[in-house]
Amino acid sequence: MFQHNMFDSHNFLLDMTRKTPENELDLIRDDEFETKSGTDIMEGASGDDQDPNKRPKKKQYHRHTQHQIQELESFFKECPHPDDKQRKDLGKRLGLEPLQVKFWFQNKRTQMKSQHERHENTQLRNENDKLRAENIRYKEALTTATCPNCGGPAAIGEMSFDEQHLRIENARLREEIDRISGIAAKYVGKPMLNYPQLPSLGGNNIVHQLGEMFTTTTTTTGGDLLRSISGPSDADKPIVIELAVSAMEELIRLAQTGEPLWINSDNNDNVLLNEEEYARTFPRGIGPKSLALKSEASKESALVIINYINLVEILMDVNQWTNFFTGIVSKATILEVLSTGVAGNYNGALQVMTAEFQVPSPLVPTRENYFVRYCKQHGDGTWAVVDVSLENLRSTSVSRCRRRPSGCVIQELPNGYSKVTWIEHVEVDDRAVNNIYRPLVDSGLAFGAKRWVATLERQCERLASVMASNIPTGDVITSPEGRKSMLKLAERMVMSFCAGVGASTAHTWTTLSGSGADDVRVMTRKSIDDPGRPPGIVLSAATSFWMPVPTKRVFDFLRDENSRNEWDILSNGGLVQEMAHIANGRDSGNSVSLLRVNSGNSSQNNMLILQESCLDSTGSYVIYAPVDIAAMNVVLSGGDPDYVALLPSGFAILPDGSSNAENSNAAGGSLLTVAFQILVDSVPTAKLSLGSVATVNSLIKCTVERIKASITCENA
């Protein structure tokens, strides 16, 4: 049946293409519809001049003037079907007969119809070719399919993921019958019915087994977790599937349910999960919570400028997901794909993954998770993508963080937008968080749903600016290719900065001094054959500190080129001028700029700096990097930006987690992370000179002191 339906769709498209042959469209000559030509009228001879011995006069053609054509084109855009009065008025104004105006509009409408039909015919042909190629691929897959149990030829039903889903649903219904029977037995005094469990799925015992695993295992470091984990065994895959299906049901209910499951916080800015109600509503899951872990749950909704199809693809493509949420996801890997979903989309896709989540500061430990991601389309035009932890499948150790069902529910809207409801529900050991960042983490602005949604909104606006064809007023770069190349280069700069400023397990930070929270931490990375980074030893240094200044004030000060000479040591007090500007968001602070430093030092004269500033309700960034003039000329002309070497530095500005932290203009503090990257001699890391470390340490401390003095004085 599946094959016949596919063949029918092919025949339908073939019939559609045959109904509109090109030779029918070509019956109308293109030159009749050129905008430079007008209506052709033959001037006939009068009765007195008619002579049968004379040859008839040749047709005379009257060409419309350029002014007449422009006026007709302009009127056609407003009214393609003028009435008699409009044609008469238009002809009188342009010096044309009403019949000439009528013929011109008829030709113009026919021309537009012809062009539309040709375009539609081309689209149908392309779609037909795609379906034919897809049909051939399916035929080959069906002929080579084998049974996973015996290795012999497999029928279609033996390969279906839906069969696994039905068996899981059967087990869930049996559990529901057992639970209802138990409740009924308490009131009617009858014994509870016992139903046999499915041995391949383990039934209700799976939940208890996972809970026992969790309570009896020991904790390991996050770095060991991500390095040692591999895909699930064949015996664990049914458990993984059951957890994914159960997590999907829980996510949908969490997204659609209000009180009493979700209750408003004291300041009514956030909603909090009622833990007791949650335990009653969802008795199944990944097992009881350990006393060593703290629960964090949050919920946030928003309308975003992105089509639901594109958003689902971003969430299910690990590379796009990491790049899109680069400030939150430091690294992610797909270990195994259990199901690719329905052909053409991700409905039913199952992926076993690992990921590391971060805050842009070396003072906040990352959170590492081993989980399954499940995508499903629902009948009401809704998609959902859910994650749930699999750490408890490992018999020896677990992570310091595990994800209960978390993810987002996406509802498609007719205008191309999407309504997103995001759920974040984790249990974590956060005792290693530095004290100055603890209020931020506790408020949910560090890892909660509000930060995910705010990042999603900002990135969707950035993506829309990349795809936009209309150039906003004030942008110097008017070439679409140049804009895209510059935005792509800035995106790589931001990703490199975020990868080098957090406490990722891939990096080893070394503290230079023991003065407390203002310590400068350094690490080294070797760059070899990396076209996007200069070759040699890259020394990164970062420090985080608190300032009694609102985040918006700090952001505006650092991104303003007029105040740059107050803190930027590398500019040597030179005048900084903005050469190019690309807006990439509704807020004026979201932009990419190309700056020129006019320094008195001839060796540094006319140095170029690429800078991106971005702002949302949960934090902001000001990131920059010196760039070569010749390389930027290539980028601005639309060339490939991947080979432009960058060493980004900059600032991550976060609220301090106080009660009014979400209002960036309100009185409150800021958590500022300053980070620099410099290239040192190409020597082994063990022989890194103390002079290089002392230089970057002095550079970052001097910059911090200048920022504190300038912003504090300005704020006063």
**Cα separation of 399 and 336, whole Å?**
19
652 vs 455: CA distance, rounded Å = 14
pLDDT at 193: 39
The span from the CA of 21 to the CA of 30, in Å, is: 16
Predicted local distance difference test score (pLDDT) of residue 476: 60
Per residue in 114-159, pLDDT (tens digit) is 888 888 888 888 888 888 887 787 777 766 666 655 555 554 444 4
- When mean pLDDT is compared over 139-143, 156-160, 345-349, 422-426, the highest value belongs to 422-426
Q: Are 544 and 517 in contact, with CB atoms under 8 Å apart?
A: yes
The pLDDT, as a whole number, for residue 537 is: 78
| Dihedral sign (CA 570, 572, 577, 583) | positive
Of residues 336 and 64, more confidently modeled? 336
Where in 572-618 does DSSP place strands (E)?
Answer: 575-583, 591-598, 607-616
What's the CA gap between 652 and 612, in Å, rounded? 12
Instruction: Dump pLDDT digits (tens) for 629-654.
Output: 888 888 888 888 888 888 899 999 99
How far is it, in rounded angstroms, from Cα 411 to Cα 350?
Answer: 20
Q: Which helix (H) or strand (E) holds 464?
A: helix 449-467
Instruction: Name the DSSP class of 373.
Output: E
The pLDDT tens digits for 304-343 are 999 888 999 999 999 999 999 999 999 999 999 998 888 7
List the structure tokens of 606.
Answer: 């006319």
Number of helices (H), then strands (E), in the chain = 19, 21
Indicate if the pLDDT at residue 187 is higher than 80.
Answer: no
pLDDT tens, 428-472?
988 889 899 999 998 888 999 999 999 999 999 888 877 766 665
Counting beta carbons within 10 angstroms of the beta carbon of residue 149, is it exposed (0 to 12), middle (13 to 18) or buried (19 or more)? Answer: exposed
CB 20 within 8 A of CB 117: yes
DSSP string, 30-62: GGGG-TT-------PPPTTT--TTSPPPPP---
Residues 487-508, mean pLDDT to the nearest whole number: 83
Query: Is residue 379's pLDDT more than 60?
Result: yes
Tell which wins on pLDDT, 280 or 651: 651
Q: Please, are residues 521 and 695 in contact by the beta-carbon 8 Å criterion?
A: no
120 three-state secondary structure? helix
d(CA 67, CA 87): 17
Both tokens assigned to 101 = 């105006």
- Could you tell me the two tokens for 162? 């839906």
pLDDT of 76 above 80? yes
Question: 558 pLDDT exceeds 70?
Answer: yes
Q: What integer pLDDT is reported at residue 710 of this predicted model?
A: 81
Residues forming a β-bridge with 530: none
CB 538 within 8 A of CB 677: yes
- CA nearest 213: which of 352, 397, 354? 397
| CA gap 117, 124 in Å, rounded | 10
State how far the Cα of 503 lies from the Cα of 540, in Å rounded to an integer: 12
d(CA 112, CA 506): 59
Of 404, 407, 403, 415, the residue nearest 383 (C-alpha): 407
What integer pLDDT is reported at residue 388 of this predicted model?
93
What is the rounded (10 degree) CA torsion for 270, 273, 274, 275?
A: -140
